[in-house]
Structure 1
Amino acid sequence: MRNIDVNATIDNANFTPFHWRVLFWCSLIIIFDGYDLVIYGVVLPLLMEQWSLTPYVAGLLGSSALFGMMFGAMGFGMLSDRLGRKKTILICVVLFSLTTCINGLVTNPWQFGILRFIAGLGIGGVMPNVVSLMSEYSPKRSRSTLVALMFSGYAVGGMMSAGLGIWMVPNYGWEIMFYLAIVPMLLLPLMIRYLPESVAFLMAQHRQEEARELLKKVDPGQHITRQDKLVVPPVNVQKAPVLELFRGGRNLSTLMFWTAFFCCLLMVYALGSWLPKLMSAAGYNLGSSLMFLMVLNIGAIVGAVGGGWLADRFSLRSVLVSFFLLASASLVSLGYPHPMWLLYSLMAVAGATTIGSQILLYAYVAQYYPANIRSTALGWASGIGRNGAILGPMLGGTLLAMALPHQMNFLALAVPGAIATVAIALVGRRQAVAEQTTDGTRVAADS
């Protein structure tokens, strides 16, 4: 009989068809998630006209889903540590798919806002759990790349929203965009069959046989038998897991992660909700304005995958600091007149370094915290960050109502990027001091 270290087996495994399956289903769920999120920015110009919405009311409506996402991220993030990743993910998929589809039937802003809030609970709850699941099953040497690749599905979903909006909304109305959200429900039986449960959760529930079968798929070459005993490094389980985020020299880093999430999500959701309207106000037609939204999400895919690749070769911290600096610079530049090709290029850079940075932040948090509090850490970072996401649409509405010069709108959106740069630069600093060897040599902190 052998003792099989579960974490070491996953960390050192070669990439197998099982990993492809986890990547496929987690990415598909994030694609649906991204589609649901970007819908509002696509239909906003039509909703403002049809319901005679002021910019302030439109901003509040855009924030309704984000309020739900804040509570969903924190609530479902902690709940999954008790119910399991798989069950929680499936509950969230049902929640956001059904309510988004029903949203196409509403006739007034109040109904719209309530349903968007409920959908937001599911959208916010699914994010930290799929990130946690993908991170748990990824081999260590390619973990950042795989998590970033999976999360680039968010941008693919955004592209689908913008692309379908350009074609379908003028012909079939804004409602069709919400009806299409029923697709995840049709795929639910396949998700139940093929999406795996977390091995860490199975071990915590003493379901060794199920965990053993999953590890055989993770690393078929190890030939794990029923006589082998699965072991995981002991963890100190606390009754208040949120407090664990501030222990072990993690207090400064936790606060800086929350600050970075707040600033990054403020930029992402201000752009996602108001970019078409801002560009329309600058003189572009609706088709061109939606094209800017599509280019933003194309850039996000490049930024997420490229950033993950760079992070596996350098460090997540250095990549994120560079990305946030580029985000601020590109947003400031977008406020000034340029040839169309340069505007599209700057928009792609902005997408790569705002939405791409959001994706890399999830990967960074997933790697920074131990497995027993990972979902809680992701849920709380995402939940705190949702305050920025909530303010993003409100900020866009306020800027539009103030009728500021075009460049001032984008300058205001660039300020959070500068703050996030400083926050990420400070992650791990206090832990590095706490983790000194007895001879006074500093140990490398998180990277």
Structure 2
Amino acid sequence: MSEPTPALERRRRRTVAWVVALSTAALVFDGYDLVVYGTVVPTLLGDPSHLGAMTPTQAGTLGSYALIGVLVGALAAGAVGDRIGRRKVMLVNLAWFSVGMALTATTHSVQTFGFFRFLTGVGVGALVATVGALVAEFAPPGQRNRYNAIVYSGIPAGGVLAALVALGFGDTIGWRGLFWVGALPIVVLLPLAWFLLPESPKWLVARGRIADAERISARTGLPVPAPELHVPDKVGFPALATRDYAFPTFLLGMMSFAGLLLTYGLNTWLPQIMGEQGYGKSWSLAFLLILNLGAIIGGLAASFFADRLGAKRVVVSTFVLAAITLALLPLDLPSVVLFAAVALAGVGTIGTQVLIYGMVSNYYPTTARAAGVAWCAGFGRLGGIVGPIVGGVLVGAGVGGSTAFQLFAAVSLVGALVTSLVPRTRHVEQAPVEQQEPVAVGSTVTA
């Protein structure tokens, strides 16, 4: 039995820190893309000189184009991620996403704006699906929910960034400038990821590439993982259809559907709904800021309990929290109480989706992990598509925010019920090779 040296341990910690930092930064821009559209909707609705005349229903549908792209990108990444690796998918889609944001900033019609929003969504979906698998395979055992929460908190952090940029510079750089900001990953993140993001040793071992895993282990200080137990023979999406994973996969997809319906519905329409209730533009954007700040702080706090009590229990609790706070928002609450309710709603909606990604990425074995997270991100995005459309229909019909918030509260309760039905996972991980008695690792793993 061998123990890692202090030098190897320092190298391992540095590698994991870079993986977490790069993954978080990538998802910050995902969250930026999510929220920046909500910040420009009032401008596009109020001034047809930008893209042409637009109704609230059309704006809701237009906001869903990016989500359709996310669905396509997530499923595409899931189809190839378990076969070609995590690193390649990350690099390609950092560039893809950035180009999509830049092209969106140059559009002058509703049709081209919608098309490039879809194109951007493809890159976003691939990143969201891949990051969960990547972090689950680099995070230390017993801290995976926390690491996933840190990384996926990049999404609401991007929402905070979008709200701050819109508040501070929106009048100066205009809506086009806000989208140009979203194109920065190609010059900021992509070069760093190219040099500092290694392939997952766990994925290499699962694919039978032991020599490659050992080479990366020597360079990064990461342990060479032992083969997993109770792993399906099939790889990728076919593994999700096996007897052990078919029903849980359906439930996990429905959880994500509920979580993303709430996330996208609120981020797209909260400024508009609160504006119609008498709050000015700055106040409406402040609510968006508080919603996402609550998601970051609450999601990180909840992940601490998820590692100790189990993610399932915590997700059920945060879904119920969302239902309670969303039901309170239409009431005539004092300002302090209203801001607190919005923050807690962020915990129960966006924060819950952060926890769902962590739960899903740790549920599946390595040979199906990218596909499982992709299914969660892809099928869940159908909920993200429905959320803005429903909000747009309700606002366009003049129903008001009260009905929208009540509907979102009901979705939260359904999410809690579905989560409670998810069975325990069957796949089992062994300790890393250097923590076991010396064994011929190559003799126990097949390609």
User: What TM-score, normalized by structure 1, do the two folds share?
Assistant: 0.88
Return 195-204 or 293-302, whichever deviates more.
195-204
The CA distance in 2 between the partners of 1:265 and 1:120, in whole Å, is 14
- What is the CA-CA distance between 1:210 and the residue it aligns to? 3.5
Per-residue CA deviations over 1:292-315 (Å, capped at 9, x if unaligned) read 101011011012211110101111
- What is the CA-CA distance between 1:249 and the residue it aligns to? 3.3
| 1:427 partnered with 2:402 | no
Q: In structure 2, what residue type is equivalent to 1:148?
A: A
Query: In the TM superposition, what are the counterparts of 1:122-161 in structure 2 within 5 Å?
Result: 122-161=123-162
Instruction: Specify the alignment match of 1:343 in structure 2.
Output: 338
Instruction: Specify the alignment match of 2:184 in structure 1.
Output: 183
Partners of 1:13 and 1:218 within 8 A in 2:
no
- What is the CA-CA distance between 1:21 and the residue it aligns to? 1.3
The count of aligned residue pairs is: 418
Instruction: Specify the alignment match of 1:90 in structure 2.
Output: 91
- Identity among equivalent positions (%) equals 32
The CA distance in 2 between the partners of 1:57 and 1:18, in whole Å, is 45
The CA distance in 1 between the partners of 2:97 and 2:221, in whole Å, is 34
Q: In structure 2, what residue type is equivalent to 1:22?
A: V
Instruction: Specify the alignment match of 2:407 in structure 1.
Output: 412
Change in Cα spacing, 1:164 to 1:318, as seen in structure 2 (3 Å) is: same
The CA distance in 2 between the partners of 1:405 and 1:154, in whole Å, is 27
Per-residue CA deviations over 1:197-226 (Å, capped at 9, x if unaligned) read 121333355544442243246657x7x8xx
Change in Cα spacing, 1:147 to 1:321, as seen in structure 2 (3 Å) is: same
Instruction: Specify the alignment match of 2:441 in structure 1.
Output: none
The CA distance in 2 between the partners of 1:47 and 1:182, in whole Å, is 20
| 1:33 partnered with 2:42 | no
Instruction: Specify the alignment match of 2:439 in structure 1.
Output: none
What secondary structure, in the 3-state scheme, does the structure 2 residue paired with 1:253 have? helix
The CA distance in 2 between the partners of 1:406 and 1:244, in whole Å, is 42
Per-residue CA deviations over 1:259-302 (Å, capped at 9, x if unaligned) read 11111111110011111111111111111101110101101101
Instruction: Specify the alignment match of 1:20 in structure 2.
Output: 17
The CA distance in 2 between the partners of 1:69 and 1:428, in whole Å, is 27
The CA distance in 1 between the partners of 2:252 and 2:306, in whole Å, is 17
Instruction: Specify the alignment match of 1:49 in structure 2.
Output: 46
The CA distance in 2 between the partners of 1:176 and 1:233, in whole Å, is 48
Instruction: Specify the alignment match of 2:440 in structure 1.
Output: none
Return 407-416 or 159-168, whichever deviates more.
407-416
Q: In structure 2, what residue type is equivalent to 1:21?
A: W
The CA distance in 2 between the partners of 1:53 and 1:280, in whole Å, is 18
- What is the CA-CA distance between 1:174 and the residue it aligns to? 0.9
Instruction: Specify the alignment match of 1:173 in structure 2.
Output: 174
Instruction: Specify the alignment match of 2:122 in structure 1.
Output: 121
- What is the CA-CA distance between 1:13 and the residue it aligns to? 11
- What is the CA-CA distance between 1:355 and the residue it aligns to? 0.6
- What is the CA-CA distance between 1:409 and the residue it aligns to? 2.1
| 1:355 partnered with 2:350 | yes
The CA distance in 1 between the partners of 2:384 and 2:183, in whole Å, is 25
Query: In the TM superposition, what are the counterparts of 1:48-447 in structure 2 within 5 Å?
Result: 48-51=45-48, 52-187=53-188, 188-204=190-206, 207-216=209-218, 219=221, 232-233=227-228, 235-238=231-234, 241-428=236-423
Partners of 1:104 and 1:176 within 8 A in 2:
yes
Q: In structure 2, what residue type is equivalent to 1:339?
A: P
User: What TM-score, normalized by structure 2, do the two folds share?
Assistant: 0.88
The CA distance in 2 between the partners of 1:77 and 1:255, in whole Å, is 16
In the alignment, structure 2 segments of 5+ residues that lack a partner are 429-447
Change in Cα spacing, 1:279 to 1:15, as seen in structure 2 (3 Å) is: farther
The CA distance in 1 between the partners of 2:237 and 2:110, in whole Å, is 36
Per-residue CA deviations over 1:136-193 (Å, capped at 9, x if unaligned) read 0111111111111111111111100000001111222111101112210112111100
Q: In structure 2, what residue type is equivalent to 1:307?
A: A
The CA distance in 2 between the partners of 1:207 and 1:247, in whole Å, is 25
Partners of 1:23 and 1:134 within 8 A in 2:
yes
What secondary structure, in the 3-state scheme, does the structure 1 residue paired with 2:19 have? helix
Q: In structure 1, what residue type is equivalent to 2:396?
A: A
- What is the CA-CA distance between 1:70 and the residue it aligns to? 0.6
What secondary structure, in the 3-state scheme, does the structure 2 residue paired with 1:335 have? coil
What secondary structure, in the 3-state scheme, does the structure 2 residue paired with 1:368 have? coil
Q: In structure 2, what residue type is equivalent to 1:124?
A: G
- What is the CA-CA distance between 1:15 and the residue it aligns to? 6.9
Q: In structure 1, what residue type is equivalent to 2:23?
A: C
Partners of 2:90 and 2:127 within 8 A in 1:
yes
What secondary structure, in the 3-state scheme, does the structure 1 residue paired with 2:184 have? helix
Q: In structure 1, what residue type is equivalent to 2:82?
A: D
Change in Cα spacing, 1:413 to 1:231, as seen in structure 2 (3 Å) is: closer
The CA distance in 2 between the partners of 1:74 and 1:171, in whole Å, is 38
- What is the CA-CA distance between 1:361 and the residue it aligns to? 0.5
